[in-house]
Amino acid sequence: MNIQDELQATIDALVQKGKGILAADESSPTIAKRFQAIGVESTEENRRTYRCMILTTPDLGEFISGVILFEETLGQHTDDGIKLSALCLQQDIVPGIKVDKGKLSLPNAPGDEITQGLDGLELRLKGYKQQGARFAKWRDVYNINETTPSLLAVQANAEVLARYAAVCQAQGIVPIVEPEVLINGDHSLARCAEVSEAVFNEVFHALHRHQVVLEHMLLKPNMIVPGKLNPQKASPHEVAVQTVKILRRTVPAAVPSINFLSGGLTPEVATANLNAMNQLDPQPWELSFSYGRALQEPALQAWKGDAANTQKVQVALYQRARLNGIARYGKYNEAMESNH
């Protein structure tokens, strides 16, 4: 199979009606915070146990087409010695990998950040591919206030995302491009829209420069929402209208799917917003999800580090995945939250 066919096969497996992507790629500091909230120590064994539990959720593949793993998880096995990437495949779920190395302050741009990890990326991707990964994810973040992000940050981050995507495609790995305009702060819905439009625009200019094949990538953007400290909340319909408007201005129709990040939204709000978008007129791309916390939070709460709660964990995860699967068709409603 040539590289283009390989990329297309992965896209076909990831972009399916009624399905989305589970982000289970929390870095060590992030998962330590999540575990601390439920009174569990973040040891390698606890992380392995938890991730085995979620990946063995019966019928998870009904609503989840891909899972983004952390590097550590890609090398781990179940108690029966099955590789976790192979476990995904048994569920008809494509294994992927987070490949960025986290963010740093961007020099000469106070308040802005840049993501690192391009050095040695090609070699790492070859290794990840041998371990079963078929797609990758890289996140760049943009802080909003009156002065940020600066033009320097918008351009530098776009360049990094495009270089990453080009390296991935050369290795036969589908890149998920994740520009995240952060929810932190008290900015308005309009300010989020303004910044997101500039960011997405610049990202696609950079992707064109680097000759990234748009049909063989996925976009993982933020939704257009007000900052979480802004007292003015936005309804799912308002979020949907603004988000789709900005995406239609900036994202070419060649991109097969837009898989939103949940970025600090509650599980219910993330699902309701996605549902509202899918109730609007048909769009040129699939509108889907790639949630981390908004899929896993109920499962973590159910677990509390106790193996006796395995079934509760899996029921909680399956339920959230199912509701997001329904939201992909615009057929979700709040009453379904208590109906399971």
Domain that holds residue 73: 3-338
Residue 40 has pLDDT above 70, yes or no: yes
- pLDDT at residue 340 tops 60: no
44: annotated active-site residue = no
Q: Is 178 a catalytic residue?
A: yes
Helix (H) or strand (E) holding 45: helix 44-55
Element of type H or E holding 240: helix 236-250
pLDDT category of residue 156 using cuts at 50, 70 and 90 = very high
Q: What pLDDT is attached to residue 107? A: 97
What tens digit of pLDDT does each residue of 58-82 get? 999 999 999 999 999 999 999 999 9
* Active-site pick, 26, 178, 202, 286: 178
**Structurally, how many domains does the chain consist of?**
1
3-state SS, one letter per residue, for 90-138: HCCCEEEEECCCCEEECCCCCCCEEECCCCCHHHHHHHHHHCCCCEEEE
Choosing from 19, 98, 137, 220, the catalytic residue is 220
| Residue 1's pLDDT band (cuts 50, 70, 90) | confident
Residue 339 pLDDT level (bands cut at 50, 70, 90): low
CATH (domain of 35): 3.20.20.70
Longest dimension (CA), the chain: 54
Contact 112, 160 (CB under 8 A): no
